[in-house]
Structure 1
Amino acid sequence: MRFTVLGGCGAWPAAGQACSGYIVEEDGFRIFIDPGYATLPRLLERMGAAEVDAVLVTHGHPDHCADLNPLLRARALADAPAPPLPVYAPPGALDAVLALDRPRMLAGSLTAHDLAPGTSHQIGPFHLDTFDLPHHVPNAGLRLTGSRGRVLAYTGDTGPSADLLALAKDADLLVAEATYPERVPEEDAPYLSTARDAGRTASSAGAARLLLTHLWPDTPAAPALEAAAASYTGELSVATAGVSVEIA
């Protein structure tokens, strides 16, 4: 299983960067996770739009799904249109991004699947388990198990939750939202996490590797890494465009 970062900025893309967006591959099957702002051009540097086999969206904020629109356009408006793309998202999460075009333009470009809390899906060689994690809007934590038993866990954006330990338990790679290094502002504390929180989760869950993502744009990585390392002693890094992890 290979995991590649297309972008990792929270809220908006910093200059030269992109918001949340990741590719996970196994046995030639490619899943695009969270096509946030500015991620499609980076994906197209690596593969054609028609080579994406499925899309997973954790929640409906545009920094996690806005580039689904140009991805569908690239597939639907090509000289040889691609087959319908399976897209998995919480109920209603895609309403706004799909409303950007008139229905006929993208008709037949996707097959939508609801990620209802606690559901499981088989997507190509991957088994997907979902977790209902707290955010400003419904957010699905994702646990993908590949055909060889390797596990990728991804929080999306989340506040504190006991379910994070089940999501991340013994994961080979935990990709965790870490918008702030040490403290979330009070009004957002139920809905977002810190790098220190991510380190504690990774340590308690026994995750083999931790990748911090969704840092506030234009903030340095060092404070986040230091905060996570206070409790996590495993391999630790920050999600920036081009980072690729072989989960083996």
Structure 2
Amino acid sequence: MRLTVLGGCGAWPDAGQACSGYLVEHEGFRLLVDPGYAVVPRLLELVEAAQVDAVLVSHGHPDHCADLNPLLRARIYAQEPPPPLPLYALPGSVEHVLALDAGPRMARSFTSKDFEAGDSFDIGPFQVDSWLLPHWVPNAGLRLTAGGRTLAYTGDTGPSESLVELARGADAFLAEATYPDRVPNDSASYLSSAAQAAAYATRADAGRLLLTHLWPGVEPCQALAAARGGYAGEVRVATGGLMLEL
């Protein structure tokens, strides 16, 4: 299983970067997880839009799904349009993005594969397990397993005991870390810090920790320092271009 980080900014893309977007590949199958703002230009540096086999969305905030629109446009207007794109998302979570382009061509460009947080299902070679995690909108924590390797991804989340189960024994734990060490009171139930992510990674015995969704302006070294104080394993910041073989 290969993970390529296309972007890891929270809220909006910082200069020269993209919001949450992750290409996960196994046995030639390409799964795009969370096509957030500015992800598609980074994706197209690696593969053609028609070569994406499926999309999986953790939740409906635009920094996690807005670039679904240009991805579908690139497929619609290709010289030889590919088959409809399987789109896995929580019910109703991406309707606002799909509504940007009404009409039969857009409607035929994808196939909705709604799931409820808590469901388990397969996408190509990947077994997907999901958990409902606390956020301002319904958010699914996602655990992808293929070829004996596991990637756990939080989407965006506040504190939850489910994070330990989500990340337990994972080869890589891709964890939201909007703030380095302290989450403001008004967001404390719905977002996480690098220090919190480290604590969950330690409890779950995760193989490595990847910090993502850093607030624009937060220096990666701040997040790394906060996480390394609570986790003894490898810690990296999920910045665009990072590629890992699990």
Same fold (TM over 0.5): yes
What does residue 121 of structure 1 align with?
121
Asked whether 1:176 is paired with 2:187, we answer: no
Alpha-carbon distance, 1:102 to partner? 1.2
Asked whether 1:24 is paired with 2:19, we answer: no
Q: Give a deviation string over 1:182-235, Cα, whole Å, max 9, x none.
A: 111111111000000000000000000000000011321111111111110101
What does residue 110 of structure 1 align with?
110
What does residue 152 of structure 1 align with?
151
Instruction: For residue 106 of structure 1, give the secondary structure of its aligned residue in structure 2.
Output: helix
What does residue 242 of structure 1 align with?
241
Alpha-carbon distance, 1:117 to partner? 1.9
What does residue 135 of structure 1 align with?
135
Query: Number of residue pairs matched?
Result: 246
Q: Is there any run of 5+ residues in structure 2 with no aligned partner, and where?
A: none
What does residue 217 of structure 2 align with?
218
What does residue 38 of structure 2 align with?
38
Greater displacement, 109-118 / 149-158: 109-118
Identity %: 63
| Aligned AA (1:4) | T
Asked whether 1:231 is paired with 2:225, we answer: no
Contact 1:115/1:140 (<8 A) preserved: no
Greater displacement, 194-203 / 98-107: 98-107
Instruction: For residue 199 of structure 1, give the secondary structure of its aligned residue in structure 2.
Output: helix
Alpha-carbon distance, 1:149 to partner? 1.2
What does residue 83 of structure 2 align with?
83
Alpha-carbon distance, 1:107 to partner? 2.2
Q: Give a deviation string over 1:40-97, Cα, whole Å, max 9, x none.
A: 0000000000000010100000000000000001111212111011111111101100
Give the Cα–Cα distance (whole angstroms) in 2 for the partners of residues 142 and 115 of structure 1.
12
What does residue 59 of structure 2 align with?
59
Instruction: For residue 105 of structure 1, give the secondary structure of its aligned residue in structure 2.
Output: helix
Contact 1:115/1:130 (<8 A) preserved: no
Contact 2:208/2:233 (<8 A) preserved: yes
| Aligned AA (2:160) | S
Contact 2:195/2:229 (<8 A) preserved: yes
Asked whether 1:202 is paired with 2:201, we answer: yes
Contact 2:176/2:214 (<8 A) preserved: yes
Instruction: For residue 104 of structure 2, give the secondary structure of its aligned residue in structure 1.
Output: coil
| Aligned AA (2:134) | P
What does residue 163 of structure 1 align with?
162
Greater displacement, 104-113 / 192-201: 104-113
Contact 1:37/1:65 (<8 A) preserved: yes
Give the Cα–Cα distance (whole angstroms) in 2 for the partners of residues 117 and 154 of structure 1.
13
Alpha-carbon distance, 1:118 to partner? 1.1
Alpha-carbon distance, 1:115 to partner? 2.3
Give the Cα–Cα distance (whole angstroms) in 2 for the partners of residues 133 and 88 of structure 1.
17
Q: Is there any run of 5+ residues in structure 1 with no aligned partner, and where?
A: none
Tell me the TM-score normalised to structure 1 length.
Answer: 0.98
Give the Cα–Cα distance (whole angstroms) in 1 for the partners of residues 79 and 66 of structure 2.
24
- Detail structure 1 runs of 4+ shifted over 3 Å in the superposition: none
Contact 2:179/2:218 (<8 A) preserved: no
Give the Cα–Cα distance (whole angstroms) in 1 for the partners of residues 236 and 33 of structure 2.
19
